[in-house]
Amino acid sequence: MPCVDNATAQETLLQTKNVSHQLVNVVNGIINTVANRNFPPQLAPLYYNQSGPLVPVLCNPFHSNLSERMCASGEVSLHNSSEVWKKYTCNVSTPSGICTTPGRLTPQFYSQMSAAVNISYGLYRYGPFLVNLQDCTFVRDTFTDISHDHCPGLRRYSQWIYIGLVIVSAAVMLSLMFWVIYARERRHRVYTKQHDARVEGINKGH
């Protein structure tokens, strides 16, 4: 099975964390600088008649140094942010894209933010697992768990099978040895009988 070295695997994990961290920053930038601001109409497209309660920012699972970070009060988590933000989405008129109902996210903004969150959440949740596949840690751990937890007698039964094969092999070798000895003795007896018969025939001739 092809595996990468641990240093390469850890670098991959670091990059997945970094991408996830940056995506959250981009989404929060849109929320803080556009969605939660009240722009005058002349500043379109930043203005789209956004109104109502402020959109909660997204919880970033990592600090800037990519260490684990706990969510702060008022932040929404990666796994349910799309559901929460749906309540802050307005209806828009076409083709202007201006909100006609209260809300701070247009359907287009909501769709783009949800897509970014899905990518960030996927990297955050499945990145470590994929890295473990990359350096074969998952495969080794899986077989170790199977051996120790799910098949406690597997190693013992394997030893019994091995011992049984050794015994069978030894028995076959002994059988061959006894057969060779038996064959030699048989040939010797036949030769002795033939020799005795010739000697007896010679003696009778005299």
Residue 41 DSSP symbol:
G
The per-residue pLDDT for 5 is 59
Of residues 14, 2, 3, 17, the one with CA closest to residue 122? 17
- Report the C-alpha gap between 118 and 110 in whole angstroms: 12
More confident residue, 94 or 38: 38
- Report the C-alpha gap between 123 and 129 in whole angstroms: 10
pLDDT band, residue 13 (cuts 50/70/90): confident
68-117: pLDDT as tens digits: 999 999 999 999 999 999 999 999 998 888 999 999 999 999 999 999 99
Percent of the chain with pLDDT over 70: 60
Of residues 46, 5, 24, 47, the one with CA closest to residue 134? 5
Amino acid at 139: V
Q: Is the pLDDT of residue 165 over 50?
A: yes
Of residues 20, 183, 171, 36, the one with CA closest to residue 105? 36
- Report the C-alpha gap between 52 and 102 in whole angstroms: 6
